[in-house]
Structure 1
């Protein structure tokens, strides 16, 4: 069994727990793709809205390129150990392509969360996006927002979110601001 003791392992373990919250034993593609519908609903968008479809496509690409191959025992579920080992392998194997897929997902995610179309997300939009889709604690998200708002302007732009996402899924640096993407780690 994979030990969860490094910074990256702890972060991957946390995101796995959020993704697998509704399913015993592992995650499946439909759960990952449903994040698009859940996020759209949180911001009042129907499942067939173009922004929701764009996010669903980005999530499907991540699933097809990275996550589906993690099911090493062939049981149809990606369990905790498979997820942690697999995410590390995806990032190490072809980091440029992996980061491109993460970036496409972030851009699609942000297009939904930027409810007022001003090019940035505020703390309320940030809290809505992660509390309503991944079940993150609003109190944790308030702390996270403050850590991620690197320029202190009260908003997060797509570059700040993209950098935080990249750090969250790839960095072993215990001081990386992106470690705080979902709150204290």
Structure 2
């Protein structure tokens, strides 16, 4: 896994970022706006039945603000896929943002507050973000096979997803098959 998010994005990185961009683009117009993150929060609330809804809304608002601040190159108030790819491909400043978002996301996903994420909790995250399933993803992510993801495992995989370039890395499958 690279230490920064620098260099020309590989085909794998492009596929991963394009995949998650489409998942975040709630209205499908090809531009991310705060309203898309509100729609994502609504999907989260529908999947979780409102449990921890405000925490997830706050997490998604913070994720939007950070993406917007680092990615909106033309100042038009939105983020295109190419702007997001450029930010990920940029000067490495997104690493801290990615890790901070992973920690916040972990805390929102950990519905029972036990400091670990079960397969059922993780399935809710994937369903809310992509509408897909995590049938094979969780087994790849649970490195120690204990049936849970720790905050450290979760953050590592989140960073692998955004910055990694290894098809076989567990983090490549954070949102399921790409």
Q: Which runs of 5+ in 1 are unaligned?
A: none
Which runs of structure 2 are paired with 1:1-185 in the superposition (5 Å)?
6-45=11-50, 52-89=53-90, 92-94=91-93, 98-131=94-127, 133-138=128-133, 141-185=134-178
Secondary structure (helix, strand or coil) at the match of 1:156 reads strand
- Report the 3-state secondary structure (helix = DSSP H, G, I; strand = E; otherwise coil) of the residue aligned with 1:142: coil
The two structures have a TM-score, normalised by structure 2, of 0.79
| Residue 170 (structure 1) shift | 0.7
Residue 165 of structure 1 deviates from its aligned partner by 0.2
Q: Which has the higher relative contact order, 1 or 2, with Cα contacts under 8 A spaced 6 or more apart?
A: 2
Structural RMSD (CA):
2.6
Per-residue deviation, 1:160: 1.2
- TM-score norm. by structure 1 comes to 0.77
Higher helix share goes to which structure?
1
- Mapped contact 1:19–1:134 kept (Cα < 8 A): yes
Q: Distance in 2 between matches of 1:174 and 1:62?
A: 25
Residues 54/137 of structure 1: CA separation in 2 closer, same or farther (3 Å cut): closer
Secondary structure of the 1:183 match is coil
Moved over 6 A (4+): none
5+ unaligned residues in a row in structure 2: which ranges? 1-7
